Structure 1
Amino acid sequence: MSMEQPDDVWNWDDGMAPDCEVEEAWAADIPSAGIRGTITPNAPLAKLVWFKAGGKADWLFEPADLDDLRTFLNQLSPDVPVMALGLGSNMIVRDGGVPGVVVKLGKSFADVTIDDETCVVRCGAGAHGILVASAARDCGVAGLEFMRGIPGTVGGFVRMNGGAYGREVSDVLIDCDVIMPGGSLVTLPVEDLRYSYRHSALPAGAVVVSARFQGEPGDPAEIGREMDRIAQAREESQPLRSKTGGSTFKNPEGHKAWKLIDEAGCRGLAVGGAQVSEKHTNFLINTGDATSADIEGLGEEVKRRVYENSGIELHWEIQRVGRP
């Protein structure tokens, strides 16, 4: 199967808002026959993302279950963009909103089952990392403790090769079930995802619905202690109680992004209501009334200052989606 490497900017309209004719055409193409989930037009997304900023989705679809999602995507015109949304923890939703359909997976996609004999952990794409790690711990399955430190859902960190504390998804993923653009459901082994640092070969519009991870036998008490260590390390080093989007920039090879940012004098730097965290400089925070333009603009200014100071170009880890 041929899949293209995605960019770190998901932008389906070259930065321009669609005109009324395009919006009306999409409205005509949004299926409703036989759909049991919830379809909401002009749905605010700010409340669904950690930054608590940004515009609306043209359409928000919350499927009742996998069959409902397949029915919807099979009927949806291929011309309508589709984006899956998990916890919204690693994302800037631009102020102009997201064109097409945003798919939000709910509780029916959050199941976790474990095979005690093989230590294979099967998860729905809506399962939180903490839930996956905790379920594995309770069954004496080690190797997934790092997911305690990923602020997101399985679908998001399978797509982005999420990682924390020395491990990443590509180390433990066996395969994942994905609904591809056009509605076909396929199972992709880890090799087909061509993982690199915070990237996979999944195309825009593909929706991860489940994944299988390979663990190993372990002692629940030791697993629990490691999870506690990760939780404490996050609490001490990251602005978890702020409106933030997680790590902003990828670590350049041989360097730490936070250190480059600090050395460029960006600690506490602000644009509008957005600020570089004083606690961890690779985190941007919404101090209360930031727009997404403030947040993205601050990130671009940080990139400029780091390059001017060190000659090293930072690359966004946070996904930026939608219309400016």
Structure 2
Amino acid sequence: MACLFILLTFYFAETLSEDGSILFFIPLVIIYVFIVIGNLIVFFAVRIDTRLHNPMYNFISIFSFLEIWYTTATIPKMLSNLISKQRTISVIGCLLQMYFFHSLGNSEGILLTTMAIDRYIAICNPLRYPTIMNPWLCARLSAGSCVFGFLVLLPEIVWISTLPFCGPNQIHQIFCDLEPVLRLACTDTSMILIEDVIHAIAIIFSVLIISLSYVRIITVILKIPSTEGRQKAFSTCAAHLGVFLMFYGSVSLTYLRFSTTFPPALDTAIALIFAVLAPFFNPIIYSLRNKDMETAIKKLLCPQNVFNAFAN
């Protein structure tokens, strides 16, 4: 059984010179630092500012917290491989990376679906919104998203850990992913692939729920008589819609393409979108054109200005 896998980072990393690897390493470090700091700022801004203690911002803060760990599951190893000549990962390390990356991704997907339903109720049924989306339900939905996201993949990872890997040990991806790893197993993996189809159906179901929710939301927003009211209603949903399109668009290209194969460079680009670029843009999207979030961030980063304003 293979003890180590070789990650072909950016699929051509093995041909890069040391200087060439640094060209990828430096931007990736900057992006990772921004992701961690940006999402921490969003998380603490929501937690500290009492005006943001409502279901929508509560879900956003949890999503930002998950994003930090979602990227930490893959990017540090990518950085290590870019400056290392070995570019290897142990089988156990590979399984753990797959488990945490996909479990956190599943949790985020469920949370995005919950956020879409929350916006649907808030805009389409505003009078009943405070009663339906009460703190007790929000806490259960947040916890349920994380618990279910981590439990659903556990049987598959345990199953993969029992497979023999006795052939080639090169993973043609920038991190350990299910399909590239299963290709290396020297036994029948059709039963695991069936489980992957079930997961794909779950992704499609989530996309349908979110899409139908936003179609209904946009229909209701367009019926609002005042321009200011329409803009305010749309601004609360635009960030969620942007994150949804970026997250599920790249995920769908990777996991819902069935037998379609892409060139290695395109495979790498798609993986970078949902593993690196989407988390990079999320803090920007959530703070863009959102005055409440901007105020909370300024209050977090420049508390002295707030004190001076009250003093004057």
What is the TM-score normalised by the length of structure 2? 0.28
Task: Pick the structure with greater CA Rg.
Answer: 2
Higher helix share: 2
What is the TM-score normalised by the length of structure 1? 0.28
Higher strand share: 1
